Amino acid sequence: MANPAMKWTKGAGDIWTARVGPFGLKVQPKGDGRWIWLVTKADAANPEATGVGSSLGAAKTATEQYVRRSGLV
């Protein structure tokens, strides 16, 4: 299965978002130097997966890996 291109968009307050297939991805600063990542499917009220990364790059990578491993894209 081909890996979809994930285009990240920077919003207000260092919030980064992307949309890939049925997933909405969001990465934002936690406030202590770490980054929170969330993966939400379609327009669900609650995230399907969450986590904390040590850097922006680590958090983005975690969300992208989750999406790729889901088998839905």
Average pLDDT along the chain, 73 residues, taken 10 residues at a time? 73 94 95 96 91 97 94 86
pTM for the model stands at 0.86
Edge-to-edge strand order for the sheet containing 49-53?
Answer: 9-10, 16-20, 23-29, 35-41, 49-53
- pLDDT attached to residue 6: 83
- pLDDT attached to residue 56: 96
- pLDDT attached to residue 63: 95
